[in-house]
């Protein structure tokens, strides 16, 4: 006993499930389904549950219907008939939009032409097509007035606007996606959280050779102004990422540490500058005159 109501209800629930997933998970401008493919699974399960519920409701309905006393059954059937009117209206509209002669009446519209036995019908244009055509005419007029007479904006301006927007988005992305940091874009991090993270990384990986205070043992002193491989955050980041000179013992950390982590530990190393720890190693390398 499928009713139109049940289809509409089903469609609404599916839509609701979709919207709930899309808008309850915060994913900025992107669709939740793009960011978390698992959302599709959740959505699929939700749809299955809704369909199962719908089937259960239908089953319940027919059980209840059977249990109705005879006089009540009539009222129920009347309401069903009411609903099938909607169906009838839909069907009629559909046929109206096609405006096709039924096959029995085709002789009314057959043309005189006879192309080697092939004959032609003179059907009306389907109204849906005609309306669409009128719509394109209206669109064209609006378009012409807006863009060719009043020149709202040109294609070139539109391109420039989109470009500016895209650049803004790229900037925004670079600012938030810190793992994109590389030797060219790295900057000195000064946030306490970044420096603490850097300190933790340093304590875990670096003290064996540079000592906890940065004074240096196997590796050079990191607290003075002399650098073998160049000072400043970019050089220090590069040394950490790519390693020192061959055979000296400073490995490339890019396999172990993420770009952001290397930027954090580089910033921490630089923050050690000028601390003059006790027993620090003699300066090695050249005086770094850079301003970072």
Query: Which tokens is 121 given?
Result: 């019908």
Cα separation, 35 vs 12, whole angstroms = 24
Q: Which stretch, 81-89, 116-124, 151-159, 213-221, contacts ligand HEC (CB under 6 A)?
A: 213-221
- What is the distance of C-alpha 184 from the center of its chain? 28
Per-residue binding letters, 214-253, with ligand HEC (x by CB under 6 A): ----xxx-x----xxx------x--xx---xx--xxx--x
User: Interaction with ligand HEC in 70-129: which residues (CB under 6 A)?
Assistant: none
Shorter beta-carbon distance to ligand HEC: residue 189 or 222: 222
Is residue 265 a contact residue for ligand HEC (CB under 6 A)? yes
Q: CA-CA distance, 36 to 98, in Å (whole number)?
A: 43
Q: Quick one: which of 21, 189, 197, 206 contacts ligand HEC (CB under 6 A)?
A: 206
CB of 280 to ligand HEC, least distance (A): 12
Phi, psi of 5, deg, nearest 5: -50, -40
CB of 265 to ligand HEC, least distance (A): 5
**Which CB atom, from 24 or from 291, has the smaller least distance to ligand HEC?**
291
The neighbour count for residue 237, using CB atoms within 10 Å, is 26
Q: Which residues contact 234 (CB under 8 A, 6 or more apart)?
A: 183, 184, 186, 292
Nearer to ligand HEC, 215 or 220 (CB): 220
Q: Would you give the binding string for ligand HEC spanning residues 165-204, x where CB under 6 A is met?
A: -------------------------------------x--
Which residue of 210, 211, 234, 238 would you call a contact of ligand HEC, by CB under 6 A?
210
For residue 137, what are the β-bridge partners? Answer: none
**Tokens matching residue 31:** 């669709």
Place of tokens 């650098």: 227
Are the beta carbons of 197 and 264 closer than 8 angstroms? Answer: yes
Integer CA distances (angstroms), 142 to 45, 133, 151, 159, in order:
45, 14, 12, 21
Q: Which is nearer to ligand HEC, 25 or 228 (CB)?
A: 228
- Encoding tokens for residue 229? 């491989």
Question: Where along the sequence are the contacts to ligand HEC (CB under 6 A)?
Answer: 202, 205-206, 208-210, 218-220, 222, 227-229, 236, 239-240, 244-245, 248-250, 253, 265, 269, 284-285
């Amino acid at each position: 006993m499928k009713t139109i109501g049940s289809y509409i209800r089903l469609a609404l629930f599916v839509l609701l499930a979709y919207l709930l997933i899309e808008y309850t998970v915060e994913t900025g401008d992107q669709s939740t389904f793009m960011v978390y493919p698992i959302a599709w699974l959740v959505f699929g399960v939700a749809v299955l549950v809704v369909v199962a519920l719908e089937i259960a409701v239908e089953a319940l309905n027919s059980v209840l219907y059977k249990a109705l006393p005879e006089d009540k059954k009539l009222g129920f059937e009347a309401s069903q008939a009411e609903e099938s009117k909607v169906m009838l209206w839909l069907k009629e509209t559909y046929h109206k939009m096609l405006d096709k002669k039924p096959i029995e009446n085709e002789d009314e519209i057959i043309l005189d032409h006879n192309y080697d036995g092939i004959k032609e019908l003179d059907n009306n244009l389907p109204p849906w097509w005609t309306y669409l055509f009128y719509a394109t005419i209206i669109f064209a007029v609006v378009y012409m007035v807006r863009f060719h007479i009043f020149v709202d904006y040109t294609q070139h301006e539109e391109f420039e606007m989109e470009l500016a927007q895209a650049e803004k988005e790229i900037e925004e992305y670079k600012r938030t996606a810190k793992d994109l940091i590389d030797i060219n874009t790295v900057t000195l991090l000064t946030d306490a959280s970044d420096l603490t993270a850097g300190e933790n990384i340093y304590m875990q990986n670096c003290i064996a050779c540079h000592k906890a205070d940065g004074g240096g043992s196997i590796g050079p002193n990191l607290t003075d102004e002399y650098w073998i491989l160049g000072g400043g955050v970019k050089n220090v980041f590069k040394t950490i990422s790519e390693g020192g000179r061959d055979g000296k013992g400073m490995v490339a950390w890019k396999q172990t540490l993420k770009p952001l982590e290397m930027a954090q530990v580089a910033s921490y190393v630089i923050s050690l500058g000028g601390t003059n720890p006790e027993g620090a190693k003699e300066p090695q390398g050249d005086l770094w005159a850079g301003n970072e």
